């Protein structure tokens, strides 16, 4: 369950950071932010950033004490 939560958090974080970097035409280097078109909407995305953000979020969520 913590992986599913981490995927959502990682996706939101990736979308926000990619949006800021992509709209400012920044040199993203290893983040490899690229523009995609999904149903007439321009979306910026970065797979390396998504994997890193999901991994960090998963570690943080897994370390939190569970409320049972």
Q: What is the pLDDT of residue 68?
A: 55
pTM, two decimal places: 0.85
State residue 61's pLDDT score.
92
Q: Pick from 65, 58, 49: which is nearest to 8 by CA?
A: 58
- At residue 66, the pLDDT reads 74
Q: What is the distance between the alpha carbons of residues 54 and 16, in angstroms, rounded to a whole number?
A: 14
pLDDT digits (tens, 9 = 90+) for 13-68: 999 999 999 889 888 888 889 889 989 998 999 999 999 999 999 999 999 887 55
pLDDT at 63: 92
């Amino acid at each position: 369950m913590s992986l599913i939560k981490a995927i959502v958090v990682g996706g939101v974080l990736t979308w926000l950071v990619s949006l800021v970097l992509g709209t400012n035409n920044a040199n993203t280097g290893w983040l490899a932010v690229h523009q995609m078109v999904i149903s007439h909407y321009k979306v910026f995305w970065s797979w390396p950033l998504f994997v890193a953000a999901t991994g960090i979020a998963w570690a943080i969520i897994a370390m939190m004490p569970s409320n049972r």
